[in-house]
Amino acid sequence: MFAPAAFITLLTALSGVAAVPFSQLFRTLPKDISHVAVDEAHGHYLAFKRDGSLYGRYPVDAQSNGLERRAASQCAQLSVDEAKTLPGWDAIVQYANNNWGDGSRTIVTNPSDYVDSPAQVCITDDVVELSFSGDPVCQTHTTSSEGSLVGTSGEVDIEVDQGFNTDTSYTLTTASTIGVSDTLTVKVGVPEVAEVTDALTISTEVTDTTSSTFDVSYNDVSKVTIKMTAPEGKTCTATTSTKTCNIQATGNIRYLASGWVWFNYDDETDGHYKWAASIEAVLTNQDDRSSFAEFKGSMVANTQTSYAGTCT
């Protein structure tokens, strides 16, 4: 005899329904899975290939959260109004019309009944490279440490700062039309500029609202010790040179839509009332499901170098 759990598994397999919830399985499905229908009588998703052939059945997982597939700080829910601003929105609607007709229907995203089939907007993992315009404007100034008295050993240690830091505020000049007002994490790439900065990648948070500001900060300044030799009783100081450079910078952040757009029909079409189109399967070109936020600012870079000073 089968144990109860094994018997249930056997029945599930014989019924042709995958036991793994759709939200977990979706990431492994073939890319040509372009739409799903809901079999409300049995509580299943029916996944279809682009050619209309049935790929498989999957249980509706009402408890899952599709945003778990990406770090929450990189993604947010995509509203249907935002989806309508995508360059490829008309292609999604046409896909629905071609497959299920243009009858009376409601178009939604992230329906509460099917939380495991969300639509979301994410800032991609791609690093947003800054673009610089013009030449950097640099100034250099020096500072001296407090005097340190040389003891009987004839040596004195003086602690000074040395290294590089940047702390720049950027302003969104144009917001993306998706992910509006959401605060998400982005990686900003700072290209190498001769005698100004090495190449860096810095993570920061950006709120997608025109005129909002965000900071890009990096600091590798550390304390170093300079050993100076002088006669006992002398007072020694070390000098630090700080070079501060400003350069105009701009960047573009890609906001990328993915997931499902639901078409809920008033009348049954092809055996079902609720159909969903995969955004990324219909819009295979990323540019068709993207919107960009533009930002600019004056990058400030400080380089501190220390060297031995004088003893008097």
Task: Please tell me which residue, 149 or 54, carries the higher pLDDT value.
Answer: 54
Average pLDDT on 108-120 reads 88
Alpha-carbon distance of 84 to 103, in angstroms, equals 19
Q: Beta-carbon neighbour count of residue 29 at 10 Å?
A: 16
Q: Residue 286: CA atoms inside 13 Å, Cβ hemisphere, count?
A: 9
Alpha-carbon distance of 42 to 61, in angstroms, equals 13
What pLDDT does 142 receive? 87
3-state DSSP assignment of residue 109: coil
- pLDDT higher than 90, residue 119: yes
Owner of token pair 């329904």: 17
CB burial of residue 243 (10 Å; 0-12, 13-18, 19+) = middle
% of the chain surpassing 70 pLDDT: 85
Polymer length of the chain? 312
CB burial of residue 230 (10 Å; 0-12, 13-18, 19+) = middle
User: CA-CA distances (angstroms) from residue 268 to 36, 285, 287?
Assistant: 15, 31, 34
Least confidently predicted of 34-38, 233-237, 280-284, 293-297:
233-237
Task: Please tell me which residue, 101 or 117, carries the higher pLDDT value.
Answer: 101
pTM recorded for the entire structure? 0.82
Q: Do 272 and 157 touch, CB atoms closer than 8 A?
A: no
DSSP type of residue 102: S
pLDDT in tens, 241-269: 999 999 999 999 999 999 999 999 999 99
CB burial of residue 135 (10 Å; 0-12, 13-18, 19+) = exposed
Average pLDDT on 108-128 reads 89
Domain extents for the chain? 12-121+258-283, 128-254+294-311
Q: Do 98 and 90 touch, CB atoms closer than 8 A?
A: no
Give domain 128-254+294-311's CATH architecture.
Beta Complex (2.170)
pLDDT band at 308 (very low <50, low <70, confident <90, very high): low
